[in-house]
């Protein structure tokens, strides 16, 4: 592709396997089908998603030690390559993107994307979140456009970052693809799927946000009456704490902290219930993936992204965060009546509402204004 094609650059912390990173990869790959050059700029080239970066995307490693030190490398990149649009994901990188964009000058458009809510984290006295929230208040207004992954995130940005609602566009994340549907049918070797046990599935980083301790306590409750097992797919700093909790509750042999896998949906598709136990969740990509696999879903965060996805209980049961008793009751009902409140066919049909193709088209309709 020659220089006559404009350059679109995507900016994110790394390739760590989170939902926002997966969204950016889908968008960048989708934009490659347009008459543009696509760069994927990362603070540091590391993470489990490295092998999933398509060859047609130009991967740019700023090689910074952390996000806060990526300002100068990003500025040098912007000044040397002069992209038409910089699309950034996640608050810390968004702040750096705006600052570097202001200094770089020229006609660079900055499009910020937000994939999580902040009010819950602020309530937990998360110092890092508070610092970046203040920085966001000072910088976000200088961006060209802000895209929120859900209506709740948009509302959150208005109240916490103090933005005008008209500056924010809501575009649900690109999730459903035919490839995803095929991946759900791949074989799984895990022995629990060949046993008589009822298998619950959780997916996500092992971090406080995902609140896997509540899910583990839920399994301990359920095991009083049923042979229930839990598989957790993901890695993170809470691994040792979760392992200790399993031993303390006497269920270490019935919970498998399986780690990161390239294709989690094939596990989800074979589970008896997919469970999202998060303390907060801006969107909930894995909820859409679970629906696409046909698995019954039980989820927390009913007034956030998962509630939007599940149409407030129409396509899966919703319970309050942090309540293992309510979660166990909802899982038990789902195990007994897997086709309530929605059948497998209805769940898959709902997942198609979040097609990658539709989301990419909506993102492009915004980006092309500046190309």
pLDDT at 126: 67
Q: In what order do the strands lie in the sheet with 198-203?
A: 255-259, 228-233, 198-203, 273-276, 297-299, 317-318
Residue 285 has pLDDT above 60, yes or no: yes
pLDDT value at position 55?
A: 92
Q: Where are the domains of the chain?
A: 7-174+355-370, 178-354
CATH of 178-354, one of 3.40.50.2000, 3.40.309.10, 2.60.40.1180, 3.30.460.10: 3.40.50.2000
Instruction: Count, in order, helices (H) and strands (E) of the chain.
Output: 15, 13
- How crowded is the C-beta side of 203, counted as CA atoms within 13 Å? 25
Q: What pLDDT, on a 0 to 100 scale, did the predictor assign at position 80?
A: 96
The per-residue pLDDT for range 187-225, each reduced to its tens digit, is 999 999 999 999 999 999 999 999 999 999 999 999 999
Nearest of 10, 19, 15 to residue 276 by alpha carbon:
19
pLDDT, mean of residues 152-161: 91
pLDDT-derived band at 2, boundaries 50, 70, 90: very low
Strand order through the sheet with 58-61: 58-61, 37-42, 7-12, 85-89, 109-114, 145-148, 168-170
The model's pLDDT over 337-352, given as tens digits with 9 standing for 90+, comes to: 999 999 999 999 999 9
**pLDDT mean over 112-124:** 72
Domain 7-174+355-370 in CATH: superfamily? Glycogen Phosphorylase B; (3.40.50.2000)
pLDDT digits 0-9 by tens, 312-328: 999 999 999 999 999 99
> What gap in Å lies between CA 181 and CA 117, rounded to an integer?
29
Of 51, 50, 68, the closest CA to residue 128 belongs to 68
Q: Confirm whether 7-174+355-370 and 178-354 share one CATH topology.
A: yes
Locate tokens 């693809």: which residue? Answer: 177
Beta bridge partners of 257: 232
When pLDDT is averaged across residues 43-53 and rounded to a whole number, the result is 89
| pLDDT reported for residue 51 | 86
HSE-CB at 204 with a 13 A cutoff on CA atoms is 26
DSSP 308-365: HHTGGGTSSEE--TT-HHHHHHHHHHHHH-TTSSS-HHHHHHHHGGGBHHHHHHHHHH
| Tokens describing residue 52 | 């999933």
Query: What local confidence, expressed as pLDDT, does residue 116 receive?
Result: 86
Residue 95 has pLDDT above 80, yes or no: yes
pLDDT in tens, 222-271: 999 999 999 999 999 999 999 999 999 999 999 999 999 989 999 999 99
- Give me the pLDDT at residue 105, please: 83
Count other Cβ atoms within 10 Å, centred on residue 322: 15
Pairing outcome for strands 297-299 and 273-276 = parallel
**How far is it, in rounded angstroms, from Cα 268 to Cα 299?**
14
pLDDT given for residue 11 in this prediction: 98
Residue position matching structure tokens 């899910």: 215
Give pLDDT, residue 258.
97
Q: What is the pLDDT of residue 123?
A: 53
Is the pLDDT reported for residue 77 higher than 60? Answer: yes
Could you report the per-residue pLDDT of 8-30, keeping only the tens digit for each? 999 999 998 778 898 999 999 99
Q: 189 is written with which tokens?
A: 């070797």
What number is the average pLDDT over the span 74-96? 96
CA distance 47 to 67: 15
- CA 80 to chain centroid, in Å, comes to 31
């Amino acid at each position: 592709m020659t220089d006559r094609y404009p350059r679109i650059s995507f900016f994110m912390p790394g390739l760590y396997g989170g939902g926002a990173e997966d969204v950016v990869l889908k968008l960048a790959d989708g934009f490659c089908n347009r008459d543009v050059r696509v760069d994927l700029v990362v603070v540091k080239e590391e993470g489990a998603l490295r092998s999933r970066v398509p060859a047609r995307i130009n991967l740019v490693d700023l090689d910074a030690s952390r996000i806060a030190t990526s300002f100068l490398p990003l500025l040098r990149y912007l000044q040397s390559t002069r992209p038409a649009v910089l699309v950034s994901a996640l608050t810390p990188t968004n702040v750096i993107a705006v600052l570097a964009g202001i200094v770089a000058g020229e006609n660079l458009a900055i499009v910020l994307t937000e994939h999580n809510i902040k009010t819950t984290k602020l309530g937990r006295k998360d110092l890092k979140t508070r610092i970046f929230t203040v920085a966001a208040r000072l910088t976000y207004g200088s961006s060209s456009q802000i895209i929120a992954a859900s209506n709740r995130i948009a509302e959150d940005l208005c109240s916490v970052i103090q933005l005008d609602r008209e500056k924010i566009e809501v575009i649900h994340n690109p999730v459903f693809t035919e490839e995803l549907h095929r991946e759900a049918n791949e074989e799984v070797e895990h022995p629990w799927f060949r046993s008589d046990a009822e298998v619950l599935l959780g997916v996500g980083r092992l971090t406080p946000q995902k609140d896997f301790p509540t899910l583990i306590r839920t399994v301990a409750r359920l095991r009083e009456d049923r042979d229930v097992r839990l598989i957790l797919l993901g890695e993170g700093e809470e691994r040792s704490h979760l392992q200790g909790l399993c031993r303390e509750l006497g269920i270490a042999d019935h919970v498998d902290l399986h780690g990161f896998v390239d294709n989690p949906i094939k596990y989800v598709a074979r589970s008896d219930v997919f469970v999202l136990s998060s303390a907060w969740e801006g969107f909930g990509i894995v909820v859409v993936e679970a629906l696409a696999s046909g698995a019954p879903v039980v989820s927390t965060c009913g007034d956030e992204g998962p509630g939007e996805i599940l149409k407030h209980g129409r396509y899966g049961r919703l319970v309050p965060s942090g309540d293992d008793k309510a979660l166990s009751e909802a899982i038990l009902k789902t195990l007994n009546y897997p086709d309530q409140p929605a059948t497998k066919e209805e769940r898959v049909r709902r997942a198609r509402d979040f097609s990658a193709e539709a989301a990419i088209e909506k993102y492009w309709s915004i980006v092309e204004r500046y190309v």
